[in-house]
Structure 1
Amino acid sequence: MAQAIAPATVGDSEFDRDTAVTLRAPGVYDARLSAGWTIINAVNGGYLLALVGRALADALPHSDPFSVTAHYLTASQPGPAVIRTETVRTGRTLSTGQASLFQYAEDGSEVERLRVLASYGDLGSLTDEVRTSARPPELPPVEQCLGADDAPGPSVIPGSNAITGRLMLKMDPATLGWALGAPSGKGEVRAWFGLSDGRDADPLSLLLAVDALPPTAFDLGVKGWVPTVELTVHVRCRPAPGPLRVQIATRNLAGGFLEEDAEVWDSAGRLVAQSRQLARVPGR
């Protein structure tokens, strides 16, 4: 049976504390990348996107991410960082901005980690009309899915797994063959997703959700770190309270790179976020 977790309110959650930014000067924000969101060799890309997304929400006249594209330039490490934002355009419905996250080299110079271009708006102003052929993934009940605590031995993922302590991630057993040395070869991963302290999802945490599951490369039999090169997220509506269903799939690994398409569904059965990323496969 899944453990009941008292919900955390927005602002009291570890996610909110670890994505906090402090305005230093117009358009310039100080931040600290938490070691709690690391996986294998680096800070998780979805967490980084949420952190930069929070700075843009403060810098732009609109507060909700609609479309966010990030290019990951160098691997981020826990520690201080600075985010520099720029307003590209403001309109009545949408505002567009760009931002870069920098960390400091040993000589004190700034090293750019990722660069983001995003459009923000007001998700609350959207109509309720939906015309779609998309369907939410069919997952077993949460209590029949498997999390990090259910593993029979040490993690099969080398390096840091600190991020698993921040997440309520319950994997569909049908997509976990790779963890037992028997990947299906289909390139599919599905899971229930939430934050471990019970904080309900919002548009910023959706930027994390699309990049929080094990990479689909594992289900293809590929081992090791699969760094993101580019990630685009479309946030479609504000998620209802409750756990999210996330499915990620790849159809093409070629030339040492693969794409991952993600869908995030809320407890009301609505498609609340979509993403596509390009990732580099180790050893190729």
Structure 2
Amino acid sequence: MSEYDDATRLEAGEDPARRHGTFHEEWMIGNAVNGGLVMTTALQALGEHLAADPTETTEHVNPVVLSAYFMTASQPGPFTVTTEIMRCGRRLSTGQMTIHQTGDDGQPVERMRAIGSFGDLADLDVQRQASPPEMPPPEECVSAEQAPPDFLANAKFLERLDLRLDPRTAGWAVGKPSMRGVMRGWLRLRDGREPDTTMLMMALDALPPVAFDLGLFGWTPTLEFTGHVRRRPAPGWLQVSLGSETLGGGMMEEDALIWDSTGNLVAQSRQLCGVRLPR
């Protein structure tokens, strides 16, 4: 079993709407478990619930859209994910996901609440899509292992990934951010597991924050995230591009696009992030 599969593994009980898992310290970024892994785990739970429901359309096996709100930062340790099937239609099946952990006072603490839809992404006929940006091949890009030691010490999550940043968007790592608000790179899981549609939701939130390219190096917590999975990814590297055009009021947006190894657009997202501006 890969590290990723172990990290997203869930145990089902008698209640088909409740599953249990454990967030691992190795998937932390800063003081929280990576939000992409949290979303992926929630989607895993909803997918398993749909698969176990005798009234569900069996072809709806791929996540298509997720809209998530992060209430508090997820921590290493046990969690419970509760799912509710809201509607099973011809094209999509939609449900709600909520993740809780037990707080220091023994009371449940809500970490994330989301609504997602599953469908069938096999053999899609695509009329129009964004083209991938021109980037050097992975072997000519900057490995995450070359990031400043202080940054890596607080980003155990990156040890699970093979991440190679486009040198044109990695200047922040040596104190020279481009100030364009762009981050690009190649991504795959370090243990060799190939990408699937659920893992794409994590990949949309895996690169360093685009705020770094604006010279903002503080914590940028995700407040709201909406992601779309457009196709099943081919094996191999994922090409990820992030950008931001708006910063103000202590918040910024971050737009992400992912192409697979064949150049097909496979996922996209927009998230609203909190930003701590320097005083």
TM-score by length of 2: 0.93
Distance in 2 between residues matched to 1:56 and 1:202, nearest whole Å: 16
1:259 and 2:241 aligned = no
CA distance in 2, matches of 1:248, 1:148: 16
Of 76, 79, 100, which aligns to 1:78?
A: 76
Per-residue deviation, residues 129-169 of structure 1 (Å, max 9, x unmatched): 3223x110211011111113234x523x2752111110010
Structure 2 counterparts to residues 195-206 of structure 1, below 5 A: 195-206=189-200
Whether 1:96 and 2:90 are equivalent positions in the alignment is no
Ranges in structure 1 where 5+ consecutive residues have no aligned partner? 1-11
* 1:145 and 2:153 correspond: no
Q: 1:130 aligns with which of 127, 138, 146?
A: 127
Q: 2-side partners of 1:282 and 1:21: how far apart?
A: 35
Report 1:25-174 matches (<5 A).
25-60=15-50, 61=56, 62-124=60-122, 126-132=123-129, 134-151=130-147, 154-155=149-150, 157=151, 160-174=154-168
Q: For the Cα contact (< 8 Å) 1:158–1:224, is it kept in 2?
A: no
Deviations 1:70-101 (A, max 9, x none): 10000110000000100000112210000100
User: Pick from 14, 20, 26: which aligns with 2:3?
Assistant: 14
Q: Look up the equivalent residue of 2:127 and give its one-letter code.
A: V
Give aligned pairs, total. Answer: 269
Q: What's the C-alpha RMSD, in Å, of the aligned pairs?
A: 1.3
Given that 1:187 and 1:216 are in contact with CA atoms closer than 8 Å, whether structure 2 keeps it comes out as: yes
Please report how far the alpha carbon of residue 283 of structure 1 lies from its aligned counterpart in structure 2 after TM superposition: 4.2
Asked if the contact 1:40–1:158 (Cα under 8 Å) also holds between the matched residues in 2, the reply is: no
* SS of alignment partner, residue 36 of structure 2: helix
Deviations 1:194-230 (CA, angstroms, capped at 9, x unpaired): 0001111100110110000000111101011110000
Quick one: distance in 2 between partners of 1:166 and 1:16?
A: 12
Q: Deviations over 1:82-124 (max 9, x none)?
A: 0010000011221000010000012221100000101111111
Asked if the contact 2:144–2:165 (Cα under 8 Å) also holds between the matched residues in 1, the reply is no
Q: Is the 8 A contact 2:187 2:240 kept in 1?
A: yes
**Structure 1 residue ranges (4+ consecutive) displaced by more than 3 angstroms after TM superposition:** none
Gaps of 5+ in 2: 51-55
Counterpart CA distance in 2 for 1:246 and 1:73 is 26
Partners of 2:216 and 2:277 within 8 A in 1: no
Distance 1:170 1:145 in 2: 5
**More moved, 237-246 vs 58-67:** 58-67
1:7 aligns with none
Q: In the alignment, residue 35 of structure 1 is paired with which amino acid?
A: E
Distance in 1 between residues matched to 2:33 and 2:217, nearest whole Å: 18
In 2, Cα distance between the equivalents of 1:260 and 1:122? 27
Distance of 1:158 and 1:166 partners within structure 2: 12
Q: Which amino acid aligns with 2:61?
A: S
Q: Within 2, Cα distance between the matches of 1:127 and 1:37?
A: 33
Offset of residue 37 of structure 1: 0.9
